[in-house]
Amino acid sequence: MTPTGFWLIRHAVVEENVRAILYGVLDVPVCETSMREQAPMYRALAKRLPRQAQWKVTPLSRTRRTAQAIFAVGYPEAELVEEPGMMEQSLGEWQGLPHADLPAKLAEPAHPFWPLRGHEMPPGGESMVQVIARVGTSLERLALQHPGGDVVIVSHGGAIRAALAHALRIEPDSALHLSVQNLSLTRLERHDSAWRIVCVNELSGY
């Protein structure tokens, strides 16, 4: 049976002043200057992505804006359906904090490549363990809904790491070592009995 293909894209770079804070699921704007400078990357994605795919974005505007930028440079415009299960990790009460203020609030030292470790629970937010469960549930449902098809999802760094953790069945702290850069492509396949990783953090168009 033909596997279901998942094409996961991390959203565009956000505005510079936003990058100084923990923005999590805050609906922050993309950096328009970066979008213009990275136009070749959008064109490369427009050529690379499969036609006839189902397109999903999250409720945060930065994912929709990224998808629209890909359509604007050559990909045939498609309906964008919101998939809340692919949202970024909610940092709860810590959202909006400057990065420098976070260490004093943590129960254990931060992860080397993420603001907090996989089991840390922000007040009013989610642990990465919970994000992996949420994202995994969404991916399994989408695979059942679109058997043998292709699904493009414009999502977030934390959610894409969670997708890889689900597919590989690895611990959250291990998944957080994976690099997922803005506008990178990560591809997964859902076969009958298992997940397959095709590529991680693929960057094109430089």
Distance between CA atoms of residues 110 and 102, nearest Å: 9
Instruction: Answer yes or no: is pLDDT of 178 > 80.
Output: yes
The three-state secondary structure class of 62 is helix
State the pLDDT confidence band at 1, using cuts at 50, 70 and 90: confident
Instruction: Answer yes or no: is pLDDT of 118 > 90.
Output: yes
Contact 83, 69 (CB under 8 A): no
Using CA atoms, how far residue 89 sits from 20, 25, 50, 104, 196, in Å, is 17, 7, 28, 20, 24
> Which H helix or E strand runs over 197?
strand 195-202
pLDDT average, residue stretch 58-77: 98
Is pLDDT larger for residue 70 or for residue 204?
Answer: 70
State the pLDDT confidence band at 205, using cuts at 50, 70 and 90: confident
**Predicted local confidence at residue 195, as pLDDT:** 98
Number of structural domains in the chain: 1
Which candidate, 171, 178, 167, 20, places its Cα nearest to that of 114? 178
Give me 90's structure tokens. Answer: 């909610």
Its domain, for residue 39, covers 4-202
Summarised one tens digit per residue, pLDDT across range 128-147 is 999 999 999 999 999 999 99
Summarised one tens digit per residue, pLDDT across range 149-175 is 999 999 999 999 999 999 999 999 999
Q: Average per-residue pLDDT in the chain?
A: 97
**Domain of 10: which CATH number?**
3.40.50.1240
pLDDT average, residue stretch 177-184: 98
Q: How much is the pTM?
A: 0.97
